[in-house]
């Protein structure tokens, strides 16, 4: 009886071990990485950067006087045209002032008509004639001011574009020159890139560029480049801004852009194949390697010999040939034989 119990316990233990083994043998999900296919003759002359999309211009629109905002007729992200009504301020006081100015104007016109007859008859002193003309001019000026103050209770768009930030809402008191909304011109945009000072000399206003914005699903050629003249004291970089056409208005301020600058032929191209500098790793013994991906989507270390670098790329003199796929991002999670999935 005791032997039977021992045998039963051994059977249960073996079954539990088998179940545990099955659970442990469940294949792990592939590790996601970014890769680059090595191309024969690729050059480190082209330099890649990360940039930020900026609007071409931003216009802060505000009331000229103080008052309570009754309605805001636009919302953030809405396209507006020049002259479109944006917001309305309470105009009760402005209308009362206009009514008073119109009454004074009518009174002055009536007095002018009566005094004109006396003046034409030669029975009005010249001093009184000048005085009545002055009063008519003052009334006319006050009427013009009152009309403008009433018109200023309606806020219209001075330019066309996209509504950016709304800073005043209905029911709030707007102060003079306080921005109610910001209108951004995005018919053209600029892509701001920070460039190391050592690489600024190779960039000209006409350096070709290719800009890719994943958020907008758009890849376009860049235009004229504006070079900054003030360096960042901490990073020793200069800001450049690349003009980009944006007729479909898909590129919006704040989007991240991948920027590739292509200096003119005859630059310091190193030839051969190249990879991003960050994809080259160093072992404890000082030797260099990269992670490659084979046809079975498995990662392997591969020793390489590197040459000169330029920008954020480095030439590979030995160890890698055209057609191989190299991991450029996500290599921190890899070990020999790791299964991967890539973009």
Question: Are the beta carbons of 109 and 136 closer than 8 angstroms?
Answer: yes
> Could you report the per-residue pLDDT of 93-133, keeping only the tens digit for each?
999 999 999 999 999 998 888 888 888 888 888 888 888 88
Give just the sign of the alpha carbon dihedral 47, 53, 57, 60.
negative
* Fold of the CATH domain 91-152: Helix Hairpins (1.10.287)
Q: Ranked by mean pLDDT, which of 25-29, 122-126, 207-211 comes out on top?
A: 207-211
> Considering the domain 30-43+268-343, what is its CATH architecture?
Beta Barrel (2.40)
- 108 or 343: which leads in pLDDT: 108
3-state helix, strand, coil in the chain (%, to 5): 25, 40, 35
Question: What is the percentage of the chain residues whose pLDDT exceeds 90?
Answer: 41
Position 11 pLDDT exceeds 60: no
Position 16 pLDDT exceeds 70: no
- Among the listed residues 299, 281, 295, the one whose alpha carbon sits nearest the alpha carbon of residue 336: 299
Mean pLDDT of 201-224: 90
Determine the pLDDT at residue 201: 82
> Could you report the per-residue pLDDT of 241-263, keeping only the tens digit for each?
999 999 888 899 999 999 988 76
Residue boundaries of the structural domains of the chain: 30-43+268-343, 91-152
Position 43 pLDDT exceeds 50: no
Question: Are the beta carbons of 209 and 261 closer than 8 angstroms?
Answer: yes
- Helices 126-151 and 92-121: crossing angle in degrees, nearest 10, is 160
Mean pLDDT of 65-84: 91
Position 14 pLDDT exceeds 80: no
Determine the pLDDT at residue 10: 54
pLDDT grade for 265, boundaries at 50, 70 and 90: very low
3-class DSSP state of 185: strand
Mean pLDDT of 74-97: 92
Q: Ranked by mean pLDDT, which of 9-18, 165-174, 271-280 comes out on top?
A: 165-174
């Amino acid at each position: 009886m005791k032997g039977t119990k021992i045998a039963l316990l051994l059977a249960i233990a073996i079954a539990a071990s088998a179940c545990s083994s099955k659970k442990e043998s469940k294949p792990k999900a592939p590790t996601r990485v970014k890769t680059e296919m090595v191309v024969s003759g690729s050059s480190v002359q082209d330099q890649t950067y990360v940039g930020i999309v900026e609007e071409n211009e931003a216009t802060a629109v505000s009331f000229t006087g103080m008052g309570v905002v009754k309605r805001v007729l636009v919302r953030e992200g809405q396209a507006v045209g020049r002259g479109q009504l944006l917001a309305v301020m309470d105009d009760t006081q402005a209308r009362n002032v206009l009514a008073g100015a119109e009454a004074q104007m009518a009174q002055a016109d009536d007095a002018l008509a009566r005094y004109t007859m006396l003046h034409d008859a030669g029975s009005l002193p010249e001093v009184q004639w000048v005085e009545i003309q002055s009063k008519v001019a003052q009334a006319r000026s006050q009427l013009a001011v009152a009309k403008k103050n009433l018109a200023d209770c309606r806020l219209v768009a001075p330019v066309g574009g996209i509504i950016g930030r709304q800073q005043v809402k209905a029911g709030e008191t707007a102060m003079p020159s306080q921005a109610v909304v910001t209108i951004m011109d995005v018919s053209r945009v600029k892509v701001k890139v920070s460039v190391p000072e050592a690489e600024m000399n190779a960039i000209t206003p006409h350096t070709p560029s290719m800009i890719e914005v994943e958020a907008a699903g758009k890849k376009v050629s860049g235009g004229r480049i504006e070079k900054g003249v003030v360096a960042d004291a901490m990073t020793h970089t200069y800001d450049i801004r690349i003009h980009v056409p944006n007729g479909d208005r898909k590129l919006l301020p704040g989007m991240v852009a991948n920027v590739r600058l292509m200096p003119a032929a005859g630059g310091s191209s190193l030839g051969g194949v190249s990879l991003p500098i960050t994809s080259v790793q160093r072992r404890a013994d000082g030797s260099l390697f990269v992670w490659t991906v084979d046809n079975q989507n498995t990662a392997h270390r591969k020793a390489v010999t590197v040459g000169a670098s330029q920008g954020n790329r480095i030439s590979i003199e030995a160890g890698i040939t055209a057609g191989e796929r190299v991991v450029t991002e996500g290599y921190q999670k890899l070990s020999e034989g790791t299964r991967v999935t890539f973009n």
